[in-house]
Amino acid sequence: MIEQGNSLPEATLSQLTADGMQQHQVSELFAGKKVVLFAVPGAFTPTCSEAHLPGYVVLADQIKAKGVDLIACVAVNDAFVMKAWGETQNASELMMLADGDGSFTKALGLEMDTATFGGIRSQRYAMIIENGVVTTLNVEEGKSFEASKAETILALL
């Protein structure tokens, strides 16, 4: 599993925008930026939709005021789902990134097998990244939801 002080692995993440499908290389996307990246097990799922994503939507301005250039949400879903979910959650200040095949999540060592629920998904986590290097990594234990929530990350900034 990735640790604090490690560089992010190389991977491609997708984003559907008004200009069409965008493919982002992780090394380029996070280069020279301070980023808060959080991951959810799945778009439109209960905790993710009722608490995790909304927390970042509400606190986006305060998080950015702490010198954060980009707040990004990633899930092992496709870019169409991530765009639709972002729109329903008014997440215009966040970058909604799709890890469609789970390759980024697996490279981080943060995948989990949810079996018939949805297969390989991401564990719930949040990290602070500076110029592609993880400076803070908060991975949730089991089904808990505390370490990766927006309020926790804001306090660490």
Residues recognised as catalytic: 48
135-to-34, 66, 110 alpha-carbon distances in Å: 10, 15, 16
The DSSP-derived string for 86-133 is: HHHTT-TTSEEEE-TTSHHHHHHT-EEE-GGGTSEEEPPEEEEEETTE
* Among candidate residues 141, 139, 138, 104, the one with its CA nearest the CA of residue 121: 104
Tell me, what amino acid is at 40? V
Give the CA angle between residues 121, 98, 46 to the nearest 5°: 55
- β 70-75/95-98 pair status: parallel
Cβ count near 113 (within 10 Å)? 9
